Amino acid sequence: MSAAETAMLIAGERLEGTEGAVRGIDPRSGETIEPAFGGATEADVDRAARAAADAARTFRATAPEARAVFLETIASEIEALGDALIDRAMTETGLPQARLQGERGRTCGQLRLFARVVRDGGWMDVRIDPAQPDRQPLPRPDMRLAKLAIGPVAVFGASNFPLAFSVAGGDTASAFAAGCPVVAKAHSAHPGTSALMGGAIARAVAACGMPAGTFSLLYGADYRVGEWLVAHPAIKAVGFTGSRGGGTALMQIAASRPEPIPVYAEMSSINPVLLFPGAIAARGAAIAAAYVASLAMGAGQFCTNPGLVVLIEGSGDTAFREAVAGGIAATPAATMLTPGIHGAYLKGVEALRARGVAPLAAGGTSANPHDATAAVFETDADALLADPALRDEIFGPAGLVVRCPDVATAARLLEGLEGQLTIALHMEAADHALAADLMPLIVEKAGRILVNGFGTGVEVAPAMVHGGPYPSTSDGRSTSVGTLAIDRFLRPVCYQDMPEGLLPAALRDDNPCRIPRRIDGTLTLPA
Ligand code: NAP
């Protein structure tokens, strides 16, 4: 990579970071990857945030069509990076080529999906309540509501999705779609990948004539860059995917600002899988095979990884457990994303052993320094209820199977769980009555409830919810995947008795944006 490519990007300018240096590490070999990326100073953060604030007013007011073209141009620029992007991401993350190619497709697909969302205009949730001058006892004013961009957003890239959840990932795409400038903090595990993605966005900003401060990209040699960014008064919201510790630290900074701001952090989830007796009896071995595949996929480094299986006992349990043991034993060791994540995985597995939890199966080992061996443990409901630490997320290919004698025990167990991204139910028709008893509890615990499947593999689609009650996310009213993600970066504004010429285009009588609007309470589509 050239010197220019390793520099920060602040409002279209390349600047050399001087506050320490960030270097990727090839997790397959443990070797440091050159060159270094200079870390931002507090002054650099200030400059990027101020530039974003300067851009916010113009960018918010861009026509939906112009923003849609901008999103599509970013996607084209990412595609134009070609193999260089995939090669760099492979070196920095150890993820296989096919996975990264698929992730690039997903990244560009979600940018284009948000372009369609922007054009549709439904996201503005326009409501027009015309004046009723003759209403008694008091006249009603003319009121017009539109959801508008909240302002500059700080985006923290995720380690486990170097493309789809990082610099040009879902948080950035939804912030841009809403009309919010982005200051991205690159994840230190993949600075080169971040630089390539940031360059693609910068070229799209220039090509589409967007204000320069619409996008900046910073590197942080330590956590201070993220802290400065979240504390900066120009930043109005935060998008984050990562650890619970990181997410809650940023939430605290955001909440203690003179002007607190929302943090949309996706953090920690063990994604319970409930196995009902009818399903286990009918197809226990097949469920076991699918479970092992989901648990081990991508070295288990998915936020939707099935960390906890609740086995409601009945006939067939033995076949299920034997099939899990066989499947895990045949699972090769796999490289994890970073030395830190690998270390945390080893600690998590060791902690289960130290608490006396029985191993059910272990996968293959490897001499590579950051490879994880898959592991499944088993225990009973009483042990899980007695020890909250057994419900902690272990990020990686480790799972815990909990035997429950009946649905009432499963209910107690669910009651004790924290909020989750997903809960999966495996059931036959004969199990539906049992499941119905649990549904009121399940719906309180998860953002996505799925049947006869596993939460890994998150569709980017209008009906997707990738969110859930705390601590799976910091704000369970939102999703970070799917078109509803745009809502996180919007704020409703009501214009009362505003002259037509001063209204945003979306609220004018002639509906120049040709968007759906709710007029006097009735949804009205453009003619
Ligand atoms: P992370 O350590 O939370 O890092 C995410 C981002 O936040 C990075 O940019 C990091 O900076 C920054 N950061 C972390 N702690 C911070 C703090 N206290 N103050 C300011 N900035 C902070 O997450 P990770 O590296 O992606 O993975 C580590 C763990 O996260 C995993 O073991 C797993 O438990 C969890 N994880 C969960 C999910 C999920 O979706 N639920 C996804 C990925 C990871 P640096 O770049 O300087 O490190």
Say how far apart CA 283 and CA 2 lie, in whole Å.
55
Ligand 1 pocket residue status of 221, Cβ below 6 Å: no
Asked if residue 414 has pLDDT above 90, the reply is: yes
Task: Give pLDDT, residue 471.
Answer: 97
Closest C-alpha among 479, 488, 418 to residue 448: 479
Residue 206 and residue 70 in contact, taking contact as beta carbons nearer than 8 Å: no
- Per-residue pLDDT averaged across 334-351, rounded? 97
Q: For tokens 């073209």, what's the residue?
A: 69
Task: Give pLDDT, residue 505.
Answer: 94
What phi and psi values does residue 154 have, to the nearest 5 degrees? -90, 125
Task: Give pLDDT, residue 314.
Answer: 77
Task: Give pLDDT, residue 317.
Answer: 82
pLDDT in tens, 436-446: 999 999 999 99
Closest C-alpha among 321, 327, 185, 197 to residue 246: 185
Tokens of 398: 């480790």
Q: For tokens 């009650």, what's the residue?
A: 469
Residue 362 and residue 328 in contact, taking contact as beta carbons nearer than 8 Å: yes
Task: From residue 288, give the alpha-carbon distance in Å to each of 23, 144, 188, 404.
Answer: 40, 54, 36, 17
Count how many Cα atoms sit within 13 Å of the Cα of residue 184 in the half-sphere of its side chain. Answer: 34
Distance 393 CA to ligand 1 centre (A): 14
- Per-residue pLDDT averaged across 39-43, rounded? 98
Task: From residue 245, give the alpha-carbon distance in Å to each of 8, 240, 254, 344.
Answer: 26, 12, 14, 13
Closest C-alpha among 154, 312, 174 to residue 227: 154
Task: Give pLDDT, residue 527.
Answer: 82
Say how far apart CA 388 and CA 405 lie, in whole Å.
20
The reply to whether 494 belongs to the active site is no
Least confident of 131-135, 312-316, 370-374, 465-469: 312-316
Distance 494 CA to ligand 1 centre (A): 37
**Active-site hit among 19, 72, 266, 378:** 266
Say how far apart CA 217 and CA 304 lie, in whole Å.
28
Least confident of 259-263, 387-391, 447-451: 387-391
**Active-site hit among 180, 303, 404, 513:** 303
Torsion of Cα atoms, 225 then 226 then 231 then 236, to 10°: 120
Residue 38 and residue 16 in contact, taking contact as beta carbons nearer than 8 Å: yes
Residue nearest to atom 19 of ligand 1 (CA): 223
Closest ligand 1 atom to Cα of 224? 20
Residue nearest to atom 43 of ligand 1 (CA): 242
Residue nearest to atom 44 of ligand 1 (CA): 242
Ligand 1 pocket residue status of 395, Cβ below 6 Å: yes
DSSP 8-state code for residue 519: E
- At 182, which amino acid appears? V
Asked if residue 80 has pLDDT above 90, the reply is: yes
pLDDT in tens, 22-34: 999 999 999 999 9
Distance 148 CA to ligand 1 centre (A): 30
Residue 254 and residue 375 in contact, taking contact as beta carbons nearer than 8 Å: no
Say how far apart CA 83 and CA 267 lie, in whole Å.
31
* Cis status of the peptide bond prior to 181, with omega within 30 of 0: no
Task: Give pLDDT, residue 291.
Answer: 98
Task: From residue 42, give the alpha-carbon distance in Å to each of 49, 226, 239, 240.
Answer: 11, 10, 20, 20
The reply to whether 303 belongs to the active site is yes
pLDDT in tens, 496-512: 999 999 999 999 999 99
Distance 67 CA to ligand 1 centre (A): 30
Residue 1 and residue 207 in contact, taking contact as beta carbons nearer than 8 Å: no
Torsion of Cα atoms, 160 then 164 then 166 then 172, to 10°: -150
Distance 303 CA to ligand 1 centre (A): 12
Asked if residue 315 has pLDDT above 90, the reply is: no
Asked if residue 1 has pLDDT above 90, the reply is: no
Tokens of 136: 């008694």
Residue 309: strand pairing partners: 273, 401
Number of neighbouring beta carbons within 10 Å of residue 322:
15
pLDDT in tens, 373-388: 999 999 999 999 999 9
Tokens of 383: 């042990």
Distance 314 CA to ligand 1 centre (A): 40
Residue 118 and residue 71 in contact, taking contact as beta carbons nearer than 8 Å: yes
Q: For tokens 């007013």, what's the residue?
A: 57
Q: Is 423 helix (H, G, I), strand (E, B) or coil?
A: strand
Tokens of 487: 């809502």
Q: Which helix (H) or strand (E) holds 295?
A: helix 277-296
Asked if residue 85 has pLDDT above 90, the reply is: yes
Ligand 1 pocket residue status of 268, Cβ below 6 Å: yes
Q: Where are the alpha helices (DSSP H) in 297-399?
A: 317-329, 339-354, 381-386
| Residue to mutate, 37, 159, 227, ligand 1, most ligand atoms under 8 Å from C-beta | 159
Over the chain, what is the mean pLDDT? 96
Number of neighbouring beta carbons within 10 Å of residue 247:
24
Distance 187 CA to ligand 1 centre (A): 8
pLDDT in tens, 198-243: 999 999 999 999 999 999 999 999 999 999 999 999 999 999 999 9
Ligand 1 pocket residue status of 166, Cβ below 6 Å: no
Asked if residue 366 has pLDDT above 80, the reply is: yes
DSSP β-ladder status, 37-38 and 21-22 = antiparallel
- Per-residue pLDDT averaged across 322-350, rounded? 97
- Per-residue pLDDT averaged across 397-412, rounded? 96
Task: Give pLDDT, residue 313.
Answer: 86
Say how far apart CA 61 and CA 43 lie, in whole Å.
28
Say how far apart CA 76 and CA 170 lie, in whole Å.
16
Least confident of 161-165, 314-318, 369-373, 421-425: 314-318
Ligand 1 pocket residue status of 341, Cβ below 6 Å: yes
Asked if residue 2 has pLDDT above 80, the reply is: no
Residue 451 and residue 466 in contact, taking contact as beta carbons nearer than 8 Å: no
DSSP 8-state code for residue 33: P
Q: Where are the alpha helices (DSSP H) in 28-183?
A: 42-60, 64-80, 83-93, 97-120, 170-178
Closest ligand 1 atom to Cα of 268? 41
Q: Where are the beta strands (DSSP E) in 365-477?
A: 371-372, 375-380, 398-404, 420-426, 446-451
Residue nearest to atom 18 of ligand 1 (CA): 246
Q: Give the pTM.
A: 0.96
Closest C-alpha among 318, 317, 306, 155 to residue 242: 155
